[in-house]
Amino acid sequence: MTHQPLLQVKDLHVFYDQIEALRGVSLSVDERAIVTLIGANGAGKSTLLRSISGILRARSGSIKFAGASIEQAPAHLIARTGLAHVPEGRRLFAKLTVDENLRMGAFRRNDRRAIEDDRERLMDMFPRLRERTAQISGTLSGGEQQMVAMARALMSRPRMLLLDEPSMGLSPLMVDFVFDTITKINGEGITILLVEQNASLALQIATSAYVIESGSISLQGSGVSLLHDERVREAYLG
């Protein structure tokens, strides 16, 4: 038996009109790993995640998730295969309540009892949401919104989570909480592909990591090795 990664991206080329945002990106994520992707603004991190979850269509290249080719599949079907994407900027349904957002996360599920159980577990994981379930989510603080965004994604019982800059705009305390939560989620067996500006923390929790520059992968290795890499230290750890 050859070893099969859970997610495998091969030679992906993605364009916005004429501009090539991804120039042959390859990356693989093993089951139960935390893989971190770092890179400067505009390097193509979000573009990669959006291509994986099917919002953007790649011009060429392949994406395999759990053994199936998904590069041609529509986004809502990809979401149903167990891939949950927490987008950059959280993108809550701002006019919906926290609870309604969570229920949208569980849109594809019909197991009422288990949905209730999951909701309860997530309230334990994010205690600050418990007393805010009826609040219109647009009125939550940034940290609370990030919790809802993650909880909403987890409501689908995903096999893998794509996290796009979950610590963006959060206080140091909240950043620590988010990273602790990511480790905890991963401990429950959920595979994670994490995009982060906060390179130091993201590399510390990573099993393996990639650096993306102008649409190409420029470096890859274990989290620790990149953490100590001269080029990474200079460019991303300041």
Residues that bind ligand ATP (CB under 6 A): 16, 19, 21, 39, 41-47, 88
Q: What are the start-end ranges of the E strands in the chain?
A: 7-16, 19-29, 34-39, 60-65, 68-69, 83-86, 160-164, 191-195, 208-213, 216-222
157 close to 111: Cβ distance less than 8 angstroms = no
Interface with another protein (CB under 8 A), residue from 4, 69, 94, 222: 94
The site string for another protein over 179-218 (x = CB under 8 A, - otherwise) reads: ----------------------------------------
CB under 5 to 8 A by kind: which of ligand ATP, Mg ion, another protein, none does 42 bind? ligand ATP
* Angle, helices 98-105/142-154, rounded to nearest 10 degrees: 30
CB of 105 to ligand ATP, least distance (A): 23
42 vs 38: CA distance, rounded Å: 11
204 vs 176: CA distance, rounded Å: 12
CB of 88 to Mg ion, least distance (A): 5
CB under 5 to 8 A by kind: which of another protein, ligand ATP, Mg ion, none does 223 bind? none
The burial class, CB within 10 Å (0-12 / 13-18 / 19+), for 9 is: buried
CB of 235 to another protein, least distance (A): 31
| CA-based torsion, 223, 12, 68, 114: positive or negative | positive
For 1, other C-beta atoms within 10 Å of its C-beta total 3
Q: Based on the shown chain and the rule CB under 8 A, indicate whether residue 14 belongs to the binding site for another protein.
A: no
What's the farthest any 2 CA atoms get from each other in the chain?
51
The site string for Mg ion over 28-67 (x = CB under 5 A, - otherwise) reads: ------------------x---------------------
Q: Based on the shown chain and the rule CB under 8 A, indicate whether residue 95 belongs to the binding site for another protein.
A: yes
Q: Which is nearer to another protein, 60 or 94 (CB)?
A: 94
CB of 45 to ligand ATP, least distance (A): 3
CB of 49 to ligand ATP, least distance (A): 8
Order across the sheet with 60-65: list the strands. 19-29, 7-16, 60-65, 68-69
Residues binding Mg ion (CB under 5 A)? 46, 88
Residues binding another protein (CB under 8 A)? 53-55, 74-77, 79-80, 84-85, 87, 91, 93-96, 100, 103-105, 107-108, 152, 156
